[in-house]
Amino acid sequence: SEFGEEATAVLPDLRRFVEGDDSVLRGWAIRNINELGSIARSIEPSLIKVLDDESNSTRAAAVRALVSVGAEPDVVVPLLTKILADINPSQRDAHDLSRAAANALVALKPDAAKAIVSIFIKRLQDKDPGHRQFAAWTLACFGEAADAAVPALIEVLNDDEVSSTAAHALGNIGSKARSAVPALIRALSHLKPSVRETAAVALGKIGPEAKAAVPRLQEIVKDEESQSIWEAATTALQQIDPDALP
């Protein structure tokens, strides 16, 4: 490792801080372990214990550190799956923990990520709008691994509480979300500027598969008054078909 013997020498102290009662020192130690990477692999058991911490932010940091040190997927993946299944959207820093766990699953075991996606597809239909929004957010964090969610995300594009986040998720899925192009084109005319902007960004991320959106995006580039929407549409055209720029 580029950190060498000096890093190895501090591992016992880092482990002690992770396992200690001082939450500030614990957070500091976890951040340093994350930077050290595989040289800190021996601290994996201590990091796993932190996954039960009271602070979602600290738990999220531990998840990221576990990926960095090269944690054993067979040990960590079931724990990450449980975190995502049990997560409470109303808790502080729930979004940070959800993103960290989703990203870690994709990095450690993509098949496991695909399996947990089904849970959040169902939660898109939750009665609580906050829970629906959180489900769409988490699906966005899975990226391509959430491709099975495309039909459900298309459906909730019509849900004003979720539409912008659903468009964001579709964009993160990328070209595998090509079937969402007609719905995203319609979303370019949504009353909410945030939805129009996110839909343009999503179409750009889908790329050449979103060529049907070119005429509408060209109209936006020509007439749009909002700078952020104009920029999103311009970038989208560059990503879909650079020759289509006005």
Q: Cβ distance 86 to 123 under 8 Å? A: no
Tens-digit pLDDT profile for residues 211-230: 999 999 999 999 888 999 99
Structure confidence at residue 3 (pLDDT): 54
Can you list the residues of the chain whose pLDDT is less than 50?
1-2
Integer Cα distance of 145 and 23 in angstroms: 34
Tens-digit pLDDT profile for residues 32-53: 999 999 999 999 999 999 999 9
